Structure 1
């Protein structure tokens, strides 16, 4: 028997796994607000979705229910990470997300490192940054603005 592909086909080597109290609602919301596409869902013994996967371009997002060792930002009371997603037109993506009811953390802004990005929060507190690379900047020319 031949060895299976590692990673499996259509699976990137690094895949974020987020925890949602209501995975079914997250699937619907992420699709509507951010343009993700559901690729699979796996119900648990109680009928609730225990694992699901979504994709956006060549990226994959896995999700499941929180448990004793895993919390979502809403339950934790803070966020400990964010997701950074490149889109083709960040201003159009921003308008769509805002119209879909995303909690906007900041509107699109040009960044010193060459991206234009905005930030949004999903209903369970995960922070998302959507960006478009608009100019190349050499590392030695990257100057963060004063704080």
Structure 2
């Protein structure tokens, strides 16, 4: 097939606030923003390791889908957990957990409702 990349495209009504949060709390970045002649980001890409996430600076339309769960593979879930807790005091974040299907995981829900599920290790199918 020749697949080379999957790029999630997420809708954030305030893309600038979302990018700032993703960089500050989760450590993503750098980002590239397209403002298209104004002060507000209309489109953006943010780096997540060797991957990227594309961001739209508007709320999704009725036919564009609602929720998303994004899985991000990391080397050290515990270190990421410590970063998130330090960067966003009061954020309801569970402790990293060893899953019966393999990886150690950490779920972080951003202020816009997207669920970022961080995995250390791979799933081990039964």
Q: TM-score range by the shorter chain?
A: 0.7 to 0.9
Deviation at 1:106, TM superposition (A): 2.7
Q: TM-score, normalised by structure 2?
A: 0.83
Q: TM-score, normalised by structure 1?
A: 0.72
Structure 1 gap ranges (5+): 1-5, 141-147
Structure 2 gap ranges (5+): none
Q: Distance in 1 between matches of 2:36 and 2:116?
A: 27
Q: 1:60/1:68 Cα in 2 relative to 1: closer, same or farther (>3 Å)?
A: closer
Q: Does 1:81 align with 2:68?
A: yes
Q: 2:8 aligns with which of 2, 16, 25?
A: 16
Aligned counterpart, 1:127:
115
The alignment covers a number of residue pairs equal to: 124
Question: Higher relative contact order by CA 8 Å / sep ≥ 6: 1 or 2?
Answer: 2
C-alpha RMSD of matched pairs (Å): 2.8
Aligned counterpart, 2:78:
91
Q: Distance in 1 between matches of 2:113 and 2:21?
A: 13
Give secondary structure in 2 for the equivalent of 1:99: helix
Give secondary structure in 2 for the equivalent of 1:25: helix
Q: Would you say the 8 A contact 2:10–2:55 is kept in 1?
A: yes
**Bigger CA radius of gyration:** 1
